A and B are shown apart, each in its own frame.
Chain A
Amino acid sequence: MKYDVIVIGGGPAGLAAALAAKENGAQEILILEREKELGGILNQCIHNGFGLHTFKEELTGPEYAARFIDRVKEENIPYLLSTTVIDLARQENGVTVTAVSRENGLMTLEGSAAVLAMGCRERPRGALNIPGTRPAGIFSAGTAQRLVNLEGYLPGREVVILGSGDIGLIMARRMTLEGAKVKCVAEIMPYSGGLKRNIVQCLNDYGIPLKLSHTVVDIRGKERVEGVTIAQVDEHNKPIPGTEEDYSCDTLLLSVGLIPENELSRGIGVELSPVTNGPKVNESLGTNIPGVFACGNVLHVHDLVDYVSEEAAEAGKNAARYAAGSGTQEGVEIPVETGGAVRYTVPSRICPDRMEEELVVRFRVGKNMRNAWVCVYAGEKELLRRKRPVMAPGEMEQVKLKKEDLKDALSLRVCTEE
């Protein structure tokens, strides 16, 4: 049997993609999930604040996931749990997915289209080359979150957090609520990489200091962490001698960045962006491999799950159309260039013939900005100019492009102007 659409990953992206594929006519859909439940990382995000855009209410992570899981079940979309995809390969009309599980052994599955929705992983200590000893008590923030929220165990009592990404901020509050003392959150950049609301609700409300332009320069302790040294950094992120401060603690949490998990994508030859570490996609969220689409955090790291769901629905819809052979595959793609503080765009190329009447282009900026302009140009022609009171690296931005505006465009440029 050949599936229309195989969705790799049963987190928020995979669920929304599968639902959209179904709505758009795909008959045979299969979701492959490596954990023992659907929902992905949302299952351990028991704080609220999810779904404000989508459902106009504040849900917890598991509640948000449940809305999608319920619909997947209502729609009778099949899924396999505790199933890990070990290989993804091209074949003449689609893809071959090799997966293993305890129940089904080694499976070879064929699909007309595949949606990549594997999510991302946390950068480990080694990626920063933080010097010191290697004792127990060093966790990535997400691992600590799982231990506290899913396993019900406290990883430590006196905590220093490096990195002010959202998970780091959320865990500062979570550990505090569990009775741990969070001594500080150090952030190497001069700004936080997390959402403003998380800085207020997770740090300020609990009196946890946020030390910007600071990093961990030493870890002490033989069996268990006994302390860390934090130092201020200069404009090149180099520690400034003489600014070292010792903190005694038994735990160091790291929230120092997320990396899209694209080992499978790389295996099948998907071209990746060095900026996002995710696939380069077109307006349909299609990769360079025909029939392979990508969405969610495997494509680029999102700030809000609402946007993941929205984006994934597009990928699912386009995968269904591809599987059905409907919609044109013809047309010329124009690259989307970036300028000013815009670091990247998703999609990074657009085919005006294939695009819908309106297309959302998402991007992030590389620095904090006030009252800057977001502009879109087609060649010399300005298509859009919008003033944004505040933009920050931690928050995703978007612009909407109209099909009619791109009809004769040869190049496109999304940029900020100050």
Chain B
Amino acid sequence: MKEYDIVVAGAGVIGCATARELSRYTGSVAVLEKNADVCEGTSKANSAIIHAGFDAEPGTLKAKMNVRGNQMMDQLSKELDIPFSRCGAFVVCLREEELPKLRELYERGLKNGVEGLSLLSGEEARRLEPNLTKEVCGALYAKTSGIVCPFELTLGLAESAAINGVRFYFETPVLSLERQGEKWLVHTPKEDFLAKAVVNCAGVHSDELHNMVSEKKLKIQVRKGEYCLLDKSAGKHVGRTIFQLPGKYGKGVLVSPTIHGNLLLGPTAEDVEDRENVRTTASGLQDVLEKSALGVKDVPTRQVITSFTGLRAHELGDDFVLGEAAPGFFDAAGIESPGLSSAAAIGESLAAEIAQKLALGKKEHFDPIRRGVPKLKEMSLAERRKMIEKNPAYGNIICRCEEISEGEILDAIHGVLGAKTLDGVKRRTRAGMGRCQSGFCSPRVMEILSRELSLELSQIRKNQDGSQIVLTRTRGE
């Protein structure tokens, strides 16, 4: 059995943000994650938007956390060495009779304290975004809206937490909780953990964890969203995130540049029972392509390089559930959109609440700085030359589509929370994320993983156990 002051259940963006904020305080922290890496659930498959905060009802936790979380991103992205761009967003209105709803949204934004909002005519909007359709008759322009890489944000938060003493336990799902005196005994298949406080950051499973300890039951309705990702050659089709005016099911289909220069379309919104249902469907993908064309014309849909499904943890109360639900049990439940945008703020607020409860003081030497894997492709030739002189492995290109070198892959494997799988390398470096979708580089990345981690090639996995890539040696070997 291991003993910590605080156990965080879940290494998604909320768990990692909370862990990092907790690491500002004295007190030991462990993060338990059922998957093999951080950011394996809801956090990895979403729109990758840092919303401005005009969308949520004034007074809700969603509104409060979103606006605060958005404000925190400039400093946070610098501290964590992760890409973040305030590219701005449009909410486009496609029907004259709905223009009042656009104004409502604008006013809601003002009430929420969102800065940099303005209303544009269809003409004005098209001048800034020439690929908007002629049906666009007005737009809400949110200058503070941004784009981020959800994985790098989560990994950055996690590694920063680890640098400041937080321990991560992967493939360690929380099975049940038991009150033991003033503490919680946390059961996992590997070992038990004893903690003064437990933080529930279990994403689509956050109601299950909550309901183990609280009489006031929660119910997560998992909502599935399908996306299509387009090649970088389509990445400049729009310069800002283009939302459609929200309807009954969330924010509608967006068209957005990604922080890495691709174009993202989606999501659909479909309530599902299976909490692991990340299938894409022909009808869903068709829907994404068709709906994206309503606000943006000539989307080069032949440039799709991959499609994926994300799951949103929609709580039936329709707001985030934050704070102490039972003595020493703290919720961050029902974190759906704008969860990614709110992550930093949720972490900040929960950590403060927990620290107060456990009477923890601030650490003297919190180190806010974390360095990511260097990105050689983004450097000038002179910088790149210097990097390769220092470490020749930066000169050996492994992923030709994204131009990722062996040196970057080695950095990812030997990082603070190093990659252990093909997906782990991919998300840390982008090796395999390009237009060939890992066709060329996967055997080479597998070799590097096998060499560096002293594993047989047949033990190298895509992600979770059971996802081994090759099975056995061939007959002749």
In the bound complex, do residue A105 and residue B385 qualify as a contact, i.e. CB atoms below 8 Å apart? Answer: yes
CA distance A317 to B384 in the complex (A): 35
* Seed contacts A126-B305, A131-B281, A263-B401; 14 additional CB < 8 Å A-B pairs: A102-B396, A103-B392, A103-B395, A124-B305, A124-B437, A125-B437, A131-B282, A133-B278, A133-B279, A152-B474, A153-B473, A155-B470, A239-B282, A261-B400
Closest to A142 in B: B439
| Residues in B whose Cβ lies below 8 Å from that of A102 | 392-393, 395-396, 406
In the bound complex, do residue A154 and residue B472 qualify as a contact, i.e. CB atoms below 8 Å apart? Answer: yes
User: What is the minimal beta-carbon distance from B403 to any residue of chain A, in angstroms?
Assistant: 6
| Residues in B whose Cβ lies below 8 Å from that of A136 | 461-463, 467-469
23 A-B pairs (CB sep. < 8 Å): A82-B396, A86-B377, A101-B395, A102-B396, A103-B395, A106-B381, A106-B395, A124-B435, A125-B306, A131-B280, A135-B462, A136-B461, A143-B443, A146-B443, A153-B470, A154-B470, A155-B469, A157-B471, A217-B282, A222-B276, A223-B463, A223-B467, A261-B400
Those of A96-121 within 8 Å (CB) of chain B: 98, 100-106, 108, 121
Closest to A122 in B: B439
In the bound complex, do residue B470 and residue A121 qualify as a contact, i.e. CB atoms below 8 Å apart? Answer: no
Contact of A131 among B284, B305, B395 (CB under 8 A): B284
Interface residues on B, range: 35 or more
Closest to B398 in A: A84
Q: How many A-B residue pairs have CB under 8 A?
A: 150
User: What is the minimal beta-carbon distance from A147 to any residue of chain B, in angstroms?
Assistant: 6
CA distance A14 to B435 in the complex (A): 23
**In this complex, which of B403, B466, B470 has the most chain A Cβ atoms within 10 angstroms of its Cβ?**
B470
CA distance A146 to B457 in the complex (A): 14
In the bound complex, do residue A106 and residue B388 qualify as a contact, i.e. CB atoms below 8 Å apart? Answer: yes
In the bound complex, do residue B462 and residue A156 qualify as a contact, i.e. CB atoms below 8 Å apart? Answer: no
| Residues in B whose Cβ lies below 8 Å from that of A179 | 475
| Residues in B whose Cβ lies below 8 Å from that of A223 | 462-467
Interface, chain B (partner A; CB < 8 A): 228-229, 276, 278-282, 284-285, 304-308, 377, 381, 384-385, 388-389, 392-397, 400-401, 403, 405-406, 435-440, 442-443, 447, 457-458, 461-477
Those of A65-106 within 8 Å (CB) of chain B: 82, 84, 86, 98, 100-106
Closest to A126 in B: B306
Asked if A151 is an interface residue, CB under 8 A from chain B, the answer is yes
Asked if A275 is an interface residue, CB under 8 A from chain B, the answer is no
Closest to B282 in A: A131
User: What is the minimal beta-carbon distance from B38 to any residue of chain A, in angstroms?
Assistant: 18
Given the known interface contacts A82-B396, A129-B307, A178-B475, the answer about A105 and B467 at a Cβ–Cβ threshold of 8 Å is no
| Residues in A whose Cβ lies below 8 Å from that of B440 | 121, 143
Those of A127-172 within 8 Å (CB) of chain B: 127, 129, 131-136, 139-140, 142-143, 146-148, 150-157
The contact string, 1 if C-beta is below 8 Å from chain B, for chain A 315-358, is: 00000000000000000000000000000000000000000000
Closest to B307 in A: A129
Q: What number of A residues sit within 8 Å (CB to CB) of B?
A: 52
CA distance A255 to B463 in the complex (A): 24
The contact string, 1 if C-beta is below 8 Å from chain B, for chain A 215-233, is: 0011000111000000000
User: What is the minimal beta-carbon distance from A103 to any residue of chain B, in angstroms?
Assistant: 7
Asked if A34 is an interface residue, CB under 8 A from chain B, the answer is yes
In the bound complex, do residue A127 and residue B468 qualify as a contact, i.e. CB atoms below 8 Å apart? Answer: no
The contact string, 1 if C-beta is below 8 Å from chain B, for chain A 224-254, is: 1000000000000001000000000010000
| Residues in A whose Cβ lies below 8 Å from that of B401 | 121, 263
| Residues in A whose Cβ lies below 8 Å from that of B405 | 100
Those of A364-402 within 8 Å (CB) of chain B: none
User: What is the minimal beta-carbon distance from A91 to any residue of chain B, in angstroms?
Assistant: 15
In the bound complex, do residue B474 and residue A156 qualify as a contact, i.e. CB atoms below 8 Å apart? Answer: no
Given the known interface contacts A84-B400, A100-B395, A102-B396, the answer about A129 and B304 at a Cβ–Cβ threshold of 8 Å is yes
| Residues in B whose Cβ lies below 8 Å from that of A126 | 229, 304-307, 437
| Residues in A whose Cβ lies below 8 Å from that of B457 | 151, 153
| Residues in A whose Cβ lies below 8 Å from that of B381 | 98, 106, 108
CA distance A131 to B218 in the complex (A): 32
CA distance A66 to B372 in the complex (A): 43
| Residues in B whose Cβ lies below 8 Å from that of A104 | 395
**In this complex, which of A100, A132, A135, A179 has the most chain B Cβ atoms within 10 angstroms of its Cβ?**
A100
Closest to B470 in A: A153
The contact string, 1 if C-beta is below 8 Å from chain B, for chain A 189-224, is: 000000000000000000000000000011000111
CA distance A100 to B386 in the complex (A): 12
| Residues in A whose Cβ lies below 8 Å from that of B462 | 135-136, 223
| Residues in B whose Cβ lies below 8 Å from that of A103 | 392, 395
CA distance A129 to B301 in the complex (A): 10
| Residues in B whose Cβ lies below 8 Å from that of A151 | 443, 447, 457, 470
CA distance A261 to B304 in the complex (A): 17
User: What is the minimal beta-carbon distance from B279 to any residue of chain A, in angstroms?
Assistant: 5
| Residues in B whose Cβ lies below 8 Å from that of A98 | 381
Query: Which 3 A/B pairs are nearest by Cβ-Cβ distance?
Result: A223-B466, A126-B306, A124-B437
Closest to B477 in A: A152
User: What is the minimal beta-carbon distance from B270 to any residue of chain A, in angstroms?
Assistant: 13
In the bound complex, do residue A105 and residue B437 qualify as a contact, i.e. CB atoms below 8 Å apart? Answer: no
User: What is the minimal beta-carbon distance from B284 to any residue of chain A, in angstroms?
Assistant: 7
In the bound complex, do residue B285 and residue A129 qualify as a contact, i.e. CB atoms below 8 Å apart? Answer: yes
**In this complex, which of A122, A134, A156 has the most chain B Cβ atoms within 10 angstroms of its Cβ?**
A134
Closest to A152 in B: B477
| Residues in B whose Cβ lies below 8 Å from that of A133 | 278-279
| Residues in A whose Cβ lies below 8 Å from that of B463 | 136, 223
Given the known interface contacts A34-B400, A136-B468, A224-B468, the answer about A154 and B473 at a Cβ–Cβ threshold of 8 Å is yes
| Residues in B whose Cβ lies below 8 Å from that of A152 | 473-474, 476-477
